[in-house]
Structure 1
Amino acid sequence: MATKLAARRYPAPAHAVGSLADAIPRPFWLEANTEPVPRPSLTETTEADLLVIGGGYTGLWTALQAKETDPGLDVVLLEANTCGWAASGRNGGFCSSSLTHGIGNGIERWGEEAATLERLGRENLDGIEESVRRYGIDCDFARTGELTFATKPWQVGELRTMTAQARKLGHDAVYLDAAQARAEVHSPTYLGGSWLRNSVAMLDPARLALGLRTACLRAGVRIHENSPVERLDPGARDVVAHTGYGRVRARKVMLASGAFTPLLRRLRNFIVPVYDYALVTEPLSEAALDSIGWRNRQGLGDAANQFHYYRLTADNRILWGGYDVVYHYRSAVRQELLRRPATFAKLAGHFFATFPQLEGTRFTHQWGGVIDTCSRFAPFVGTCSQGRIGYALGFTGLGVGASRFFAAAALDLLHGRETERTRLRMIQSRPVPFPPEPLRWTGIALTMWSLDRADRSGKRNLWLRCLDRLGLGFAS
């Protein structure tokens, strides 16, 4: 059972479905990059000062920043599969400065901290750029910014307001009218746009993850892949993590497991796993590129609740993702859920509606990934077991950049350091938990149906207005 966004009511045209004939079901980034030989599984009992569980961005940044702060710290990282295999190797490669899943969400929830959060977010993006340079991570990092388009009349005013807010909060932001938007990127669907010119970098997400892995190994982090942790046993002075073949006794533990079931029962109602899907085209010819413009190579998106995100790759393919967000009953996470033909067909139809001049273009890759989302859209951190276990979760699709910041915040909490980060109300609070099933599935399904209606009418129904008043919501 899953929430469905009316796929049957809006069938894709035949040429869109036909464009998927050769698309392989594998993430483009993982297909395009040579994966290193996996690190050995943990097969012994060992000790560590810090154990990191999870080899995605959050876990890798945690391990690397811990070693940067204290090179003598003994750090072990356990990954259930291989580093970067899950969300960190499957996303669109948008590395945003936002820590709050967008300026609007940040103002609504942490208004008095908004200016500080935006400044810290830009400093965090600067830090990522500096780390990429310092560690020689070849991930096509390019700070091109992000352009959000209005495709419905009521979105024009919203983008004007967002641009003004962004400028007030220190961003280099410009508003584009319809003619300017279509001159920047040629699509008949654009009615206006907001360009944050220095707040987002585009990159190859898998190469970033693999580069962080290499940096961790060179710093002395002991990484064990194909080593899923089965349980944690907190003791009076340390925590023991058990895998199938070995165990780690650590003074501190950092949970960085993303959308996968948290090892701590107390966290299981704070996040839900939702599936997001993407396509990648064949490389575009020079004539095809000329037909769409896009000379500044920004990351692009639309202003809908159910939004598309898209960007150019280094070899001039278009990655096209988003729109459908699918939650499966009882927070199911299974391999077969990574494939969803109805969504791939829908995405292809939307692609050609946006760029009709590209009809005849073929897609080469199609894939899905699972995202950890929470009721406030933005990440949360904390500790438990007398401060011996820390966590950072709930990234809601914007973890490429934010993972570094929240990993650092969690380390501050684990080690009892009072910093500007730890004084933030955002860091000191947690989201409202999701209700148990079947209320969870029902509430999410009703929310997604309501967002679909709002995108078509421009009006938020009673259910969405109630969620707004309660400070709750659901987004990709």
Structure 2
Amino acid sequence: MGAASPAGSGPLWWDDAAPPAPASTDPLPLAVDVAVVGAGYTGLWTAYYLLRERPDLSVLVLEAEHVGFGASGRNGGWVSALWPVGPDVLARASGRAGALAQLATLRDTVDEVGRVDEAEGLGSGFTKGGALVVARTSAQADRARAEVEHASSWDTGTVWLDAAATRERLLVAGALGATYTPHCARVHPRRLVDGLAAAVRRQGARVVEGTRVARAGDGVVVLGDGRRVTAGAVVLATEGWTPRLPGYERTVAPVYSLMVATEPLSDEQWRRTGLDAREVFADHGHVVIYGQRTDDGRIAFGGRGAPYHWGSAVRPEFDLEEEVFGALRSTLTDLLPQLSGVRFTHAWGGPLGIARDWHPCVSWDPVTRTGRAGGYVGDGVAASNLAGRTLADLVLGRTSALVDLPWVGHRSPRWEPEPLRWLGVNAGLRLAHLADREESRTGRPARLGALLSRLTAH
């Protein structure tokens, strides 16, 4: 393994981030049609579609830090139709037709992000090369083939590639095969969110950074300094930071995902690696990993493994877990040993939101006129676009196919109080690691896998 990135080197995606927008000298409006809390993907997509439909609306987007500070500016850049819960779970609540509609809309959403990227000149580098998920043990291969068989009844487009076909796309050591779905693109996450913020500002919205919100809902947003903004509708788009809002403390658990990035690879290194179509990649292990080939020829690679922190705490120092960074570097060079000796230049992390049943949702209260979306479990780049379109329809009172999708109005159970939450989330993480080790050692499906599925409720 090559030289490690310095701790705290920061997100690769921020190296060439758009310069901060000049601070407006105009006073903050104290009454607006729509107030959006959070200037990440969900909040900005909501503002974008609201103003595309109703340019006359006054829309205020409030952000405690800067545009793209949260998961929207730190993620792995997968614009995917993947969903944290399976279609059978969706069908139990909404029937087969509802589940099929949700899956089909997610597939179209991947293309919608690409359409807007091109039309608005967002500059995200959207490239739809699909997603390759590799199986390296017989247990992983069994799971992968079962997934393909199950997916065939839901028309997801997921197929099985044998070892030779897998190597044509990515030269992973010991690959027995892989699942492949065409319904996934890669982007530069920060360019996407910066471009979206610029588009929203062009539409006439006020995007105010460095402004903390203490409380929001029921037509009022109370700022950290005590000022109050009244709004005809309020949209909460705070994902991993949601537990900081009064009344939402146990809505989602903020779980950290960390990433590393290599130096730019040479043409020869890429010839011995693959990803010619800019596929994103992962494996069928229990511990989530994910990677992409970046615009400037690096591999950006991430995964779970950082602990959940007591009381749903979110702090800058939690972005930096050197043990996890080391594990990610080792995992990548184990997958791709031809890159042994490559230098790692960046290491970063951040929280994502997970609902108790791992089920993302869009909610809207027509009485208080308060909406919220999130709990994407790390699959939010495309889902946030769908959430923004759906919230726009709900705020405007529009009847559409989007507002009838199964995730709209879904109510997840609240997370358990501490210490049960801390014990449960971290136990799930530990079980995932143990299950992978057992499968690597025995080649058989881990006995812990069923327990892990029950614990994560998906």
Q: Note if contact 2:362-2:407 (Cα within 8 Å) is conserved in structure 1.
A: no
Q: 1:136-169: per-residue Cα shift (whole Å, max 9, x none)?
A: 1111110111001112211212222323444443
1:390-429 counterparts in 2 under 5 A? 390-429=371-410
Q: Note if contact 1:58-1:403 (Cα within 8 Å) is conserved in structure 2.
A: yes
Q: TM-score w.r.t. structure 2 length?
A: 0.91
For residues 297 and 349 of structure 1, the distance between their equivalents in structure 2, rounded to whole angstroms, comes to 22
1:133-152 counterparts in 2 under 5 A? 133-152=118-137
Q: CA deviation at 1:404?
A: 1.1
Question: Equivalent residue for 1:118?
Answer: 103
Q: CA deviation at 1:342?
A: 0.7
State yes or no: 1:179 paired with 2:160.
Answer: no
Q: Among 326, 333, 337, which residue is 2:314 paired with?
A: 333
Q: Note if contact 1:19-1:348 (Cα within 8 Å) is conserved in structure 2.
A: no
Question: Equivalent residue for 2:42?
Answer: 58
- Decide whether aligned partners of structure 1 residues 465 and 87 sit closer, same or farther in structure 2, where only a CA change above 3 A counts: closer
1:72-221 counterparts in 2 under 5 A? 72-100=56-84, 112=96, 113-197=98-182, 199-221=183-205
State yes or no: 1:459 paired with 2:453.
Answer: no
- Decide whether aligned partners of structure 1 residues 123 and 253 sit closer, same or farther in structure 2, where only a CA change above 3 A counts: same
Equivalent AA in structure 1 for residue 12 of structure 2: F
Q: 1:231-259: per-residue Cα shift (whole Å, max 9, x none)?
A: 2374xxx3243342743211110000111
Q: Structure 1, unaligned stretches of length 5 or more?
A: 1-15
Task: Tell me the C-alpha RMSD between the 2 structures.
Answer: 2.4
Q: Structure 2, unaligned stretches of length 5 or more?
A: 439-444
Q: Among 430, 450, 459, which residue is 2:431 paired with?
A: 450
Question: Equivalent residue for 1:30?
Answer: 14
What secondary structure, in the 3-state scheme, does the structure 2 residue paired with 1:432 have? Answer: coil
- Decide whether aligned partners of structure 1 residues 463 and 159 sit closer, same or farther in structure 2, where only a CA change above 3 A counts: closer
Q: Note if contact 1:41-1:226 (Cα within 8 Å) is conserved in structure 2.
A: no
Q: CA deviation at 1:215?
A: 0.6
For residues 59 and 233 of structure 1, the distance between their equivalents in structure 2, rounded to whole angstroms, comes to 15
- Decide whether aligned partners of structure 1 residues 111 and 188 sit closer, same or farther in structure 2, where only a CA change above 3 A counts: farther
Deviates more, 1:166-175 or 1:47-56: 166-175
Q: Note if contact 2:217-2:368 (Cα within 8 Å) is conserved in structure 1.
A: no
What secondary structure, in the 3-state scheme, does the structure 1 residue paired with 2:241 have? Answer: coil
For residues 292 and 437 of structure 1, the distance between their equivalents in structure 2, rounded to whole angstroms, comes to 45
Deviates more, 1:43-52 or 1:213-222: 43-52
Q: Note if contact 2:133-2:281 (Cα within 8 Å) is conserved in structure 1.
A: yes
Q: TM-score w.r.t. structure 1 length?
A: 0.88
For residues 146 and 462 of structure 1, the distance between their equivalents in structure 2, rounded to whole angstroms, comes to 23
Q: CA deviation at 1:437?
A: 0.2
Q: Note if contact 1:54-1:77 (Cα within 8 Å) is conserved in structure 2.
A: yes
Q: Among 207, 210, 213, which residue is 1:223 paired with?
A: 207
What secondary structure, in the 3-state scheme, does the structure 2 residue paired with 1:193 have? Answer: strand
What secondary structure, in the 3-state scheme, does the structure 1 residue paired with 2:240 have? Answer: coil
For residues 349 and 312 of structure 1, the distance between their equivalents in structure 2, rounded to whole angstroms, comes to 18
Question: Equivalent residue for 1:3?
Answer: none
- Decide whether aligned partners of structure 1 residues 453 and 225 sit closer, same or farther in structure 2, where only a CA change above 3 A counts: same
1:212-361 counterparts in 2 under 5 A? 212-232=196-216, 234=218, 238-244=219-225, 246-262=227-243, 264-361=245-342
Q: CA deviation at 1:322?
A: 0.5
For residues 193 and 293 of structure 2, the distance between their equivalents in structure 1, rounded to whole angstroms, comes to 19
What secondary structure, in the 3-state scheme, does the structure 2 residue paired with 1:426 have? Answer: coil
For residues 310 and 375 of structure 2, the distance between their equivalents in structure 1, rounded to whole angstroms, comes to 18
For residues 106 and 316 of structure 1, the distance between their equivalents in structure 2, rounded to whole angstroms, comes to 38
- Decide whether aligned partners of structure 1 residues 385 and 243 sit closer, same or farther in structure 2, where only a CA change above 3 A counts: farther
Report the identity percentage.
32
Equivalent AA in structure 1 for residue 205 of structure 2: V
Q: Note if contact 1:51-1:75 (Cα within 8 Å) is conserved in structure 2.
A: yes
Q: CA deviation at 1:367?
A: 0.4
Question: Equivalent residue for 2:442?
Answer: none
For residues 85 and 449 of structure 2, the distance between their equivalents in structure 1, rounded to whole angstroms, comes to 24
Deviates more, 1:35-44 or 1:254-263: 35-44
Q: Note if contact 1:101-1:398 (Cα within 8 Å) is conserved in structure 2.
A: no
